Structure 1
Amino acid sequence: MTRGNQRDSDRAKAQKKLQGAKSKNTMSGTEFQKQKEDAALIMREKQRKADEKKAAEAASGKKK
């Protein structure tokens, strides 16, 4: 009957783990929108830098 005890202990462990996890979004709509805009701004900046680097490499490659 040790199997039943193991099952119960595993179930209790899983419940404890789920309780510790964040269950839902606590940000308001405006906070969430601001976070999305900030992330988009960062990604646009990264893309701009990558495009500049690619253009510089292409220009230097053509001069050789």
Structure 2
Amino acid sequence: MTHGNKYEFVCQKNMKKQSDSVTGKRRDNGLSAATRKQRDSVIVQQKQGKTNEKKEEPK
């Protein structure tokens, strides 16, 4: 049974996608858990500050 060239490309793409999700690739850049947690908390505080500024703006 021949599926053609497109089928092969779809299979390869799907296999790569599944292997990436299994290996747990992240953008941690080799950071420790404590450093990552601190970085994330700073980002959350910045986002909260922006939303508070929007709420305080007069309409």
Quickly name the TM-score band, shorter chain normalised: 0.3 to 0.5
Normalization by structure 1: what TM-score? Answer: 0.43
* Bigger helix share: 1
Larger relative contact order (Cα-Cα within 8 Å, sequence gap ≥ 6) = 2
Normalization by structure 2: what TM-score? Answer: 0.45
